[in-house]
Amino acid sequence: MTIAQDDLNLNPAEIEAALLTLGAIGAHSQTGVWRRVYEPDWVAAQDLLQSWMVASGLVARLDAVGNLWGRIDGRDGGSAVVSGSHIDSQCPGGRYDGALGVLAALFAVKALVATYGPPRSPVEVLSLCEEEGSRFPKAGFWGSRAITGRIAPGDADLVQDEAGVGIADAMRAVGLDPLRIEDARRDDLAAFVELHIEQGPVLQDAGLPVAVVTAITGIRHTQITLTGEANHAGAFPMDLRRDPMAGFAELTDRLIGHAHRLGRPAVTTIGRIAVQPNAPAIIPREVRFTLDARHPGPDDYAALHRTHAAMLTEVAARRGLTLQTEVQFDLPPTVCAPAIVAALRSAAADVPHMLMASGAGHDSQQMAAVCPVGMIFVRSKDGRSHTPEEYSSLDDIMLGIRVLAGALYRLAW
């Protein structure tokens, strides 16, 4: 059973106005936002959300890293059911990525309380900080990692933005104490449910407004260096060359072709390449490139990287190249909790929807370390995201909020 919009008195015009009002803070490129953690626009957005939480009857507070929580106690006490997302953006990003999930949680909880009274279990709405890593690239998921205890001692003194400002100093500038990061940790959460735009074209291709997410992809970024021998491009015979560009060209075809053969949801991307000495008449000495490889299935994720390693080793050895690999980022896949998936599917019973895996990383992946998690996707027009052109229709948004409200009702009321 899906809770009807009329039953919950969800007002589409009010929700659209909230999206536009929040999107006006840090507005950029007409329809986008530029909102980086601990900067004035981000602070102003959290302040606005805090005022909306209080006006909705929630008890609001900022934790030690700046995550914003809005809570309503449950009749029976116990662990809290949480819903939300993040409000920091890419630079520039869109109005919907992250922010829609925070507003969806707020409006769903507000409507549920108005219709059914206080929940059985505590419920909290959560606005997380620094999911994107757009200001501090090495701090991605800073807010959810703090909640799960995954920020190591000393991290706040090492992470810097492009201007050399440390995240510890940025925290102090907005009244937060980096020595108290550990205070943000939570061990009393029963569930985390995140609504998010899809950020890809799968729902649009399927002609569906909503998806229930079954798993969140694993992501590994590897920097690969192939080293050969620089020589004259005309005088050195082909059969005597140790050419890292030739190795790179072969590997590009094999690595990306492997993902094509595996089919969805496996993906592999080579996004950056640097060549030395990078001259038109010289066989390169070195080719360095990045490999982004993803799969939401834990076993398939491991197999994907084993295959890549074997390809790299074989091509380098056959072509007489030195191979160096450096894993720069490794986020294992997360399988969504079956009980939450079931609650979401039940809530979406009369909403056209599909099951799918997420090809992007989300805070839910971090939250899974401390509680069961689940996600809802809302269709992105043309699959656009991380751009001011990002857009989800109000009709699709309302269906997503209905599904979220139905799941929260099952989990907490």
0.85 cut: is pTM over it?
yes
Q: Report phi then psi at 182, rounded to 5.
A: -60, -25
At 253 the pLDDT is 97
Each residue of 238-276: pLDDT tens digit? 999 999 999 999 999 999 999 999 999 999 999 999 999
Would you place residue 51 in the very low, low, confident or very high pLDDT band (cuts 50, 70, 90)? very high
Task: Indicate the CATH number for domain 218-331.
Answer: 3.30.70.360
Please, which residues have CB within 8 angstroms of residue 124's CB and are 6 or more apart in sequence?
69, 70, 71, 72, 80, 81, 82, 83, 84
**pLDDT bucket at 140, cuts 50 / 70 / 90:** confident
Strands (E), 115-262: 123-128, 189-197, 210-216, 218-227, 231-232
Element (H, E) at 296: none
What's the burial of 219, exposed, middle or buried (CB within 10 Å: 0-12/13-18/19+)? Answer: buried
Q: Averaged over 47-60, what is the pLDDT? A: 98
| Mean pLDDT for the stretch of residues 100-109 | 98
pLDDT confidence of residue 2: 53
Beta carbons of 250 and 237 less than 8 angstroms apart: no
Q: Using CA atoms, how far apart are residues 232 and 123, in angstroms rounded to an integer?
A: 68
Q: How far apart are CA 159 and CA 154, in angstroms?
A: 9
Angle 208-212-215 from CA coordinates, rounded to 5°: 130
Percent of the chain with pLDDT over 70: 99
d(CA 6, CA 268): 44
Sheet strand arrangement including 27-28:
27-28, 32-33, 93-94
Whether the CA torsion 347, 349, 350, 352 is positive or negative: it is: positive
Q: Supply the pLDDT for residue 332.
A: 95
Read off the pLDDT of each residue in 201-223 and give the average, rounded to a whole number. 97
Q: Which residue has the tokens 């589409």?
A: 12
Looking at residue 7, its pLDDT comes to 75
Q: What is the DSSP string of 151-177?
A: SPTTHHHH-B-TTS-BHHHHHHHTT--
Domain ranges of the chain: 5-216+334-412, 218-331
Q: Looking at residue 4, what is its pLDDT?
A: 57
CATH architecture assignment, domain 5-216+334-412: 3-Layer(aba) Sandwich (3.40)
**Mean pLDDT in residue range 323-344:** 97
Residue 209: asked if its preceding bond is cis (omega within 30°), the reply is no
Residues making up the chain, counted from first to last: 413
pLDDT computed for residue 8 by the predictor: 85
The candidate with the shortest Cα–Cα distance to 380, out of 186, 93, 164, is 93
The residue written with tokens 């939450």 in the block is: 340
pLDDT at 3: 64
Strand partners of residue 322: 227
Nearest to 357 by CA among 342, 324, 335: 335
Predicted confidence (pLDDT) per residue in 145-164, tens digit? 999 999 998 899 999 999 99
107 has pLDDT over 80: yes
* Whether pLDDT at 142 is above 60: yes
- Across the range 220-224, mean pLDDT stands at 98
What is the pLDDT of the chain when averaged over all its residues?
A: 96
Element (H, E) at 106: helix 99-116
Q: Mean pLDDT over residues 333-347, rounded?
A: 97
337: DSSP letter: P
What is the arithmetic mean of pLDDT over 365-377?
97
Q: Is 282 helix (H, G, I), strand (E, B) or coil?
A: strand
Q: What SS3 state is found at 123?
A: strand
* Three-class secondary structure of residue 379 per DSSP: coil
Instruction: List the structure tokens of 198.
Output: 């899809």
SS3 assignment, position 284: coil
d(CA 341, CA 404): 11
pLDDT tens figures, 282-319: 999 999 999 999 999 999 999 999 999 999 999 999 99
Mean pLDDT is lowest, of 4-18, 198-212, 232-246, 275-289, for 4-18
The structure tokens listed for 12 are: 């589409």
